[in-house]
Amino acid sequence: MPRPKHVEHENHERWLVSYADFITLLFAFFVVMFASSQTDKGKAKQVSEAVEKALKEGSSVSTSIPPAVAKVLGGTVDDKGQGNAQMHGPGGAQKAAKEDRPEVMELGISLKMLSTQLADEIKEGKVEVSMTPRGIVVSLKQAAFFPSGTDAVEPDTMSTIEKVAGALRAVENPVRIEGHTDSIPIHTARFRSNWDLSAARSISIMEVLSNRFKISQQRLAIAGYADTVPVADNDTPEGRARNRRVDLVILNSYALAKTEPVRANPVKTEPAKAQPAK
């Protein structure tokens, strides 16, 4: 008698195997995405901190970007000049092009010279040196160079001014000497307002450079801005101290093209006609 065939029951739960594999792969995908996002947050935080520091400190010579952030930005190179700074993109070829701009290259050597020669004064907070779109700005702090409320240059600061004069002799660029004060009004027998004081201090520095250190007056110009161009908040003593300064601006060619005064054309006059005698 033939043995009866065993009828296999259909397994309706086999879909669970595929579903479990799908869930496992989906979980792995989200783990990878989460790990990548955490790495990006770390890099973004480094970049954000570096940008915030640069905005607070300005373009001072002492400002520097941490190596880790420079690497994130793509600007690091090794001793052989190889690295991602050679690549196009942020920190690479575009950054190099920015540093090669004529207005920056023109005074680059002078900037390095001043930064080296005035290193002690910069460290002590007496002087600030920075590169701006107009050129190099050497900022002389009032607390170190002028007694309060006067335009007399402190004799002890002549050695510092001599270093600046040495850098000026190395170039032929014109120099603007710009006086600034804080917002506290002054009214004395000599200075009726902060405008008078700021202009007088500019003149004093100009006379020291020209009379003592033989810088041609043809290269020099003076300006007084009173308290209209602050670099810090006038509501605090520290901010007011930063605002009291005399800036020596070594102008580059770009600034000269923008600020050169327009020369008036001579007016041609017709010769007066002789009037008939009466």
pLDDT in tens, 144-181: 999 999 999 999 999 999 999 999 998 999 999 999 99
Lowest mean pLDDT among 81-85, 99-103, 178-182: 81-85
In this prediction the pTM is 0.58
- pLDDT for 243: 96
Determine phi and psi for 191, rounding to 5 degrees: -120, 115
- pLDDT for 81: 46
Q: Taking Cα atoms as reference points, which of 232, 138, 216, 212 lies closest to residue 177?
A: 138
- pLDDT for 62: 41
Judge whether 69 and 47 are in contact, CB under 8 Å. yes
Mean of the per-residue pLDDT values of the chain: 77
Contacts of 222 (CB under 8 A, 6+ apart): 176, 177, 178, 179, 199, 202, 203, 206
pLDDT in tens, 8-18: 556 666 667 77
Lowest mean pLDDT among 37-41, 171-175, 196-200: 37-41
CA atoms within 13 A on the CB side of 159: 6
Judge whether 126 and 159 are in contact, CB under 8 Å. no
Mean pLDDT of 195-204: 97
